[in-house]
Amino acid sequence: MGEFVTLETTDGIGTIKLTRPPMNALNTQLQEELRAAAHSATGDEGVKAVVVYGGEKVFAAGADITEFTKVGYQEMAIRAEALSSAFDAVARIPKPVVAAITGYALGGGCELALACDWRVVADDAKLGQPEIKLGIIPGAGGTQRLARLIGPARAKDLIFSGRMVDAEEALRIGLADRVAPAGDVYRTAVELVKPYVTGPSLALRAAKLAVDGGLNLDLASGLALESQLFAGLFATDDRVEGTTAFVEKRKPTFTGR
């Protein structure tokens, strides 16, 4: 698909792979290719679930800092929105998405992992938001998604200090969902989302929208969103199949319609 980002689909699972040696630094070109891959995964009905993967050695060690030395406020005020929205394109993929993390997921790399639904982390991986050490803050969702995921106090600890956490701590605080040997990370990520390949795609889409959308709403508005999405699923073939299969005591065969 692109020079640094590709999307390959096998058995209904699309792999968005970053390939920009040596550390998958997230320069502007990679960000835009990531956005394009996310849009492709969103629009391709053959993609039922997604793995975001940086390869066997590193997920992504952060932004390309050499770009930061060349820009001032005026230019970054324009570019910052594009950076954030590229990651947001991954968060908005209406399908189950898991990050398969090896090596380092730092700065923008950690923010990319946060844009996924789950994170499978290698047992020797390191994660963190070290931007404060450069005199800046996370600018692609780190201050927002991290606080929502692990709570504001823990998020402030990581963001204020810029320290890295290992896989054990990441799992303990909720930053990681599963830990696996480095050589098994990709396989473990695939196994995590594999059950959703044959699941009810529209219901999964609605569930993701309800959870993610509800986090930005008060409870009453979130419940209203849930009710609307719930009712809408009664117009789908998969709802007919699912409820009929339950009554007939058989396994449903969902079509995504």
Question: The domain that contains 233 carries what CATH number?
Answer: 1.10.12.10
- The stretch 85-91 carries a mean pLDDT of 95
Percent of the chain with pLDDT over 70: 100
Per annotation, catalytic residue among 8, 56, 81, 131: 131
The string of pLDDT tens digits covering residues 94-131 is 999 999 999 999 999 999 999 999 999 999 999 999 99
- Asked whether residue 69 carries a pLDDT value surpassing 90, the answer given is no
Alpha helices in 115-232 (DSSP H): 142-150, 152-161, 167-173, 185-193, 201-214, 219-232
Model pTM score: 0.94
* Residue 254 belongs to a domain: no
Instruction: Give the strand pairing for 164-166 and 126-128.
Output: antiparallel
- The stretch 201-227 carries a mean pLDDT of 96
Same domain, 68 and 89: yes
For the stretch 72-101, what's the b/e string if a residue is b when 16 or more beta carbons lie within 10 angstroms of its beta carbon? eeeeeeeeeeebbebbbbbbbbbbbbbbbb
Which residues sit opposite 178 in a β-bridge?
A: 120
- Asked whether residue 23 carries a pLDDT value surpassing 80, the answer given is yes
- Asked whether residue 20 carries a pLDDT value surpassing 80, the answer given is yes
Would you say the C-alpha torsion 2, 89, 101, 183 has a positive or negative sign? negative
Per annotation, catalytic residue among 111, 169, 191, 241: 111
- Which CATH number is 103's domain given? 3.90.226.10
Task: Give the per-residue pLDDT at 34.
Answer: 97
Q: Any idea what DSSP says for residue 26?
A: B
pLDDT tier, 10 (very low <50, low <70, confident <90, very high otherwise): very high
Same domain, 169 and 117: yes
Task: Give the per-residue pLDDT at 13.
Answer: 98
Residue 124: both structure tokens together: 């020797």
75 is catalytic: no
The string of pLDDT tens digits covering residues 144-185 is 999 999 999 999 999 999 999 999 999 999 999 999 999 999
3 is catalytic: no
Which structural domain, as residue segments, surrounds residue 216?
200-247
pLDDT tier, 63 (very low <50, low <70, confident <90, very high otherwise): confident
* End-of-domain residue from the set 178, 197, 216: 197
